[in-house]
Amino acid sequence: MAENEGKKARNDNKRAAVYIVIGVLLTGLVALCIIFALQSRQMKEMVEILELEKEELTDEYEDLSIQFDGYQQMDVHNDSLQEQLAVEQQRVRDLLEELRITKATNARRIAELKKELATVRKVMVEYVRQIDSLNQTNERLTKENLHYRRENKQITEQNTRLEEANTALSETVSRAARLEVTAFQATFLNERDKKTKQFSRIHKFQFDYTIGKNTTCEPGMKMVYVRLTRPDGELMTKASSPVFTFENGELQSSLAQEIEYTGEETRGTLYWTMEEILHPGDYSVNFFADGQHIGTFGFSVKK
């Protein structure tokens, strides 16, 4: 009986030991579960933080890319600086693309891209400084050019006024030195060179003219040309009527006469013998000399 009680005690002891082991194992398992749960939660929170950091870094890269676009569109008058801006802009685009495909859990690469961003920002600051310096220089040069243009405009206007004054003076001198017919009279003659007023007896026109005194005109032999125009506007000419030069062209004359001009008042007389049908009406007589128009007169023939 005592032996049976001993066996029972030993069995109870073994059973208790098993329960203890099971209890310890269960406690350890529960502890492991708790630790795993905590680690999972911490990992999830860490991943969320990394995702947020990646999003913020992506936004910063996109903002920087937009800034580069803005500077690229500016009218920067410096080819070297434009090329450097283009290189850095492409660098930002490449880094942004790499950031987008990099997993948020790759903390090391995310940190490297963050450092790259800081480097590019420093480069951007330097480019902004250069652009501002160029803009200030361009603004100063623009103001200087505007000042010089205004001065040149004033000088040009002064020169224009001087040229106009010189031209006016030259024209005044030219007019002062030009011959001028100051008096004219037309007389009608018959076949016996007697004055007549009868339309049917008019055979010849006698033109008496006077060239005024002009001490500024160069004296010497002068050829006086006359253009006689009928009432219908037709120029009256003869085969012997000479051609003369006027305003870079040539004109046909009706009559011509050479006179000696001494600067004093000079008179001359020209004759036109009728070889065509005489037309009643108003005739015009234009005088030319030294390539200039020196007088216009008119007379009427009444039937």
Beta strand segments in 90-242, E: 181-189, 204-211, 220-229, 235-236
Which pairs with CB-CB distance under 8 Å and at least 24 residues apart come from 17-23?
A: none
**Residue 289 identity (one-letter amino acid):** A
Name the β-bridge partners of 267: 210
pLDDT digits 0-9 by tens, 27-70: 766 666 666 555 556 555 555 666 666 677 677 767 766 776 66
Radius of gyration, CA atoms only, the chain:
58
Residue with tokens 């106009």: 164
User: What residue segments make up the domains of the chain, in order of their start?
Assistant: 2-134, 181-301
Higher-confidence position of 134 and 222: 222
Q: Give the integer Cα–Cα distance in Å for 265 and 267.
A: 7
Task: Give the DSSP letter of residue 5.
Answer: H
Contact (CB, 8 A) for 222 and 259:
yes
169 class by beta-carbon count within 10 Å (0-12 exposed, 13-18 middle, 19+ buried): exposed
pLDDT digits 0-9 by tens, 90-114: 776 777 677 677 766 677 777 777 7
Instruction: Quote the pLDDT of residue 210.
Output: 97
CA distances from 137 to 22, 26, 128, 199 (A): 86, 81, 14, 89
Give the count of alpha carbons within 13 A of 61, CB side only.
Answer: 24
Output the pTM of the full model.
Answer: 0.46
Class of domain 181-301: mainly beta
- b/e map 1-14, b = 16+ CB within 10 Å: eeeeeeeeeeeeee
pLDDT digits 0-9 by tens, 257-299: 999 999 999 999 999 999 999 999 999 999 999 999 999 999 9
Contact (CB, 8 A) for 44 and 37:
no
Q: Give the integer Cα–Cα distance in Å for 121 and 93.
A: 14
Structure tokens that stand for 293 in this block:
């128009």
